Amino acid sequence: MNVGAWEAMFLIVRRELCLSFRRPDQLLQPLVFFLIVTTLFPLGLSLQLSLLRDMAPGVLWVAALLSSLLSLDALFKSDADDGTLEQLALSGQGLTLIVVAKTFAHWLVTGVALILVSPVVGTALGIPGSAFATMMLSLSLGTLTLSWLGAIGAGLTVGLRRGNVLLSLIVLPLAMPLLIFGAGATDRAISGVSPTGALYFLAALCVFTCTLAPFAATTALRITLE
């Protein structure tokens, strides 16, 4: 009568989605932060779309990275604070499965929202419609990888009082290759060159992180759960 792994994962994802949609304001905050950060750049730089276009991929990607990081802190913290994380850990499903399900649910809530909003932001920054496909594909790979890197960071800093800054300090250096290949792919798509090279590297990074990060995140959580 034991609950299967997939069934348990599906249940946890439903739990996370149900929890997130109970507090829609916390759902929108990273998104609004993403929009605000991308509006800062034209104000700081210039309003000519031609000039903005060269900066657009970098701006878009840096904003996406920062807004994902913002929401990563809450990945384990809310459950750790009210003790439910221990209940999940002791559910007999193994901590790795819990971490995989929670991180995937977190990506669904934050990453996918970023991807859906990115065309709007892209147009505002002068990115031509032809590049949207590559941009959204690279963003989806990028945010998924970042969610996993963030899961390791969140696992390490969940017990700390002011862990948010430390989380960014830990995760951003690991996310720099992501930014390079992601912005690189979008940049080449804009200039008409085929972005497949950068996209392959990004996909390789994504697969590499998605396979190894769960174990690192589980060890991290086990350290702080003690």
Residues that bind another protein (CB under 8 A): 1-3, 8, 11-12, 14-15, 18-19, 22-23, 79, 82-84, 86-94, 152, 156-157, 159-160, 163, 166, 169-170, 172-174, 176-177, 180-181, 184, 201, 205, 208, 212, 216, 219-220, 223-226
Nearest distance in Å: CB 223, another protein: 5
Residue 79 or 113 having the CB closest to another protein: 79
Q: What is the DSSP letter of 84?
A: H
Residue 117 or 142 having the CB closest to another protein: 142
Nearest distance in Å: CB 30, another protein: 18
Nearest distance in Å: CB 22, another protein: 4
Residue 117 or 131 having the CB closest to another protein: 131
Residue count (the chain): 226
Rg, C-alpha atoms of the chain: 18
Residue 39 or 219 having the CB closest to another protein: 219
The widest CA-to-CA distance across the chain, in whole angstroms, is 64
Nearest distance in Å: CB 85, another protein: 9
Q: Following DSSP, what letter does each residue of 125-153 receive, concatenated?
A: TT--GGGHHHHHHHHHHHHHHHHHHHHHH
Nearest distance in Å: CB 171, another protein: 9
Do 57 and 139 meet the contact criterion of CB atoms below 8 Å apart? no
Give dist(CA 131, CA 119) in Å, integer. Answer: 9
Closest of 16, 189, 181 to residue 110, by C-alpha:
16
Residue 34 or 209 having the CB closest to another protein: 209
Give dist(CA 225, CA 37) in Å, integer. Answer: 34
